[in-house]
């Protein structure tokens, strides 16, 4: 029993944080958010994308024998948290945490595509069965999609009907995905396919929870900084207990969601994953709520960068069934008598 991250895991997160400190500040996000069209959006993100590619995270969760790094979700969870902290517009988590390892399950059928995407000359994303809207699909060359749970199919993005949709988060470029009668490049069916989707959903859920932790922590920092800067009645508003206690409560929520997310990443046990989604969404939501309130009227303005983090949090909180479905999943386990402490 050792519930600590190792040096390598911490250092990887540290280098991503440094990169994002340099290339993913509020001003960088605002530049992308203000882009009028896809090419100018891509131009605003170009430097950061190039730097991210140099980080060597491609294929992080792909088995080593298929050209990946052979890491586990637990090795990626701190990276996802950093991506959240920065409200990173690039789909690092969706690609490395979800799509790449899913593509790897196609084996030889997906081999050439995998090699192409691992070297970065193409981008692959995935949308679990039942998902109709996918972020960043407009930038992808390949899509992993399916009509049902026991089917996994790889398509060229150019063969799929993608319709641009607006997100509340100006940094999430959404596309409505319609399969129509598109022909896949590769396709597998059967029970192992269902479990591949199930695993992809679990990775996506827990890594989004990690992003929510990062987003929540960032919003708390922004709120604290503003409460020190803003003066009313001749003193910083952060010296008032009403403000202090609201932000202390956010910290409590965040710090007790954190071990749940890490344990979910380490075990991938379904109840832990669902719990992580609930706890992280709740903590990030509370952080957004408190941070906006602390900013007063500024919090309701387009001008403060806080909006980028809050909107990302609201968007992510709804994915993979959202908080209510995840909560219901935990509750169903409880009704079935499956919830006990492991020592009980």
In the complex with other proteins, the residue whose CB is nearer, 246 or 316, is 246
State the minimum distance, in angstroms, from the CB of residue 247 to other proteins. Answer: 6
State the minimum distance, in angstroms, from the CB of residue 300 to other proteins. Answer: 23
In the complex with other proteins, the residue whose CB is nearer, 69 or 339, is 339
Dig out the tokens for 128 from the structure. 């679990």
8 A C-beta contact, residue 195 and residue 93: no
Dig out the tokens for 344 from the structure. 């009980």
In the complex with other proteins, the residue whose CB is nearer, 6 or 22, is 6
C-alpha distances in Å from residue 318, one per residue of 71, 107, 285? 27, 31, 11
In the complex with other proteins, the residue whose CB is nearer, 233 or 302, is 233
In the complex with other proteins, the residue whose CB is nearer, 179 or 251, is 251
Instruction: Determine phi and psi for 32, rounding to 5 degrees.
Output: -70, -40
In the complex with other proteins, the residue whose CB is nearer, 262 or 309, is 262
State the minimum distance, in angstroms, from the CB of residue 99 to other proteins. Answer: 24
State the minimum distance, in angstroms, from the CB of residue 64 to other proteins. Answer: 16
59: left (phi over 0), alpha (psi -120 to 50) or beta: left
Q: Which residues pair with 256 in a beta bridge?
A: none
State the minimum distance, in angstroms, from the CB of residue 181 to other proteins. Answer: 43
Instruction: Tell which residue, 143, 146, 142, 114, has the closest CA to residue 128.
Output: 146
Residues that bind other proteins (CB under 8 A): 1-6, 9, 74-75, 220, 224, 227-228, 235-236, 238-241, 243-245, 247-249, 251-252, 255-260, 262-263, 265-267, 275, 278-279, 327, 330-331, 334-335, 337, 339-341, 343-344
Instruction: Determine phi and psi for 48, rounding to 5 degrees.
Output: -60, -40
State the minimum distance, in angstroms, from the CB of residue 277 to other proteins. Answer: 11
Report the alpha-carbon angle 52-173-48, nearest 5: 20
Dig out the tokens for 81 from the structure. 């948290």
Query: Which helix (DSSP H) or strand (DSSP E) does residue 18 occupy?
Result: helix 7-23
What CA–CA distance (Å, rounded) separates 160 from 296? 45
In the complex with other proteins, the residue whose CB is nearer, 39 or 337, is 337
In the complex with other proteins, the residue whose CB is nearer, 256 or 300, is 256
What CA–CA distance (Å, rounded) separates 277 from 258? 11
State the minimum distance, in angstroms, from the CB of residue 217 to other proteins. Answer: 11
State the minimum distance, in angstroms, from the CB of residue 201 to other proteins. Answer: 20
Query: Which helix (DSSP H) or strand (DSSP E) does residue 309 occupy?
Result: helix 306-317
In the complex with other proteins, the residue whose CB is nearer, 58 or 224, is 224
Please tell me what DSSP assigns to residue 237: G
State the minimum distance, in angstroms, from the CB of residue 45 to other proteins. Answer: 32
262-270 long-range contacts, CB within 8 A, separation 24+: 262/3, 262/5, 262/74, 262/77, 263/3, 264/206, 264/209, 265/73, 265/74, 265/76, 265/77, 265/206, 265/207, 265/210, 266/73, 266/74, 268/73, 268/199, 268/202, 268/203, 268/206, 270/202, 270/329, 270/333
């Amino acid at each position: 029993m050792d519930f600590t991250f190792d040096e390598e895991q911490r250092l990887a997160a540290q280098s991503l944080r440094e990169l994002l400190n340099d290339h993913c500040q509020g001003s960088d996000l605002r530049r992308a958010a203000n882009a009028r069209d896809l090419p100018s959006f891509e131009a605003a993100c170009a430097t950061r994308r190039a730097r991210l590619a140099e980080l060597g995270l491609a294929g992080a969760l792909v088995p080593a024998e298929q050209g990946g790094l052979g890491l586990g979700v637990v090795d990626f969870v701190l990276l996802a948290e950093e991506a959240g902290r920065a409200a990173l517009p690039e789909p690092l988590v969706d690609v490395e945490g979800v799509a790449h390892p899913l593509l790897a399950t196609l084996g030889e059928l997906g081999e050439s595509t995998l090699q192409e995407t691992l070297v970065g000359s193409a981008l692959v994303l995935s949308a679990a069965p039942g998902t109709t809207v996918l972020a960043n699909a407009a930038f992808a060359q390949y899509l992993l999609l399916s009509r049902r749970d026991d089917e996994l199919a790889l398509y060229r993005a150019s063969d799929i009907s993608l319709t641009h949709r607006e997100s509340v988060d100006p940094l999430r470029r959404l596309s409505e995905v319609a399969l129509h009668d598109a022909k896949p490049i590769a396709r597998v069916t059967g029970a192992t396919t269902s479990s591949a989707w199930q695993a992809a959903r679990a990775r996506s859920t827990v890594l989004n929870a990690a992003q929510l932790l990062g987003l929540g922590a960032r919003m708390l920092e922004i709120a604290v900084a503003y409460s020190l800067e803003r003066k009313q009645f001749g003193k910083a508003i952060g010296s008032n207990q009403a403000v202090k206690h609201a932000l202390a409560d956010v910290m409590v929520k965040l710090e007790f969601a954190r071990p749940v997310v890490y344990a979910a990443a380490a075990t991938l046990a379904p109840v832990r994953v669902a719990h992580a989604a609930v706890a992280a969404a709740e903590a990030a939501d509370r952080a957004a709520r408190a941070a906006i309130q602390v900013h007063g009227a500024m919090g309701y303005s387009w001008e403060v960068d806080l909006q980028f983090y809050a909107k990302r949090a609201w968007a992510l909180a709804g994915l993979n069934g959202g908080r209510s479905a995840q909560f219901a999943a935990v509750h169903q386990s409880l009704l079935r008598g499956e919830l006990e402490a492991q020592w009980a």
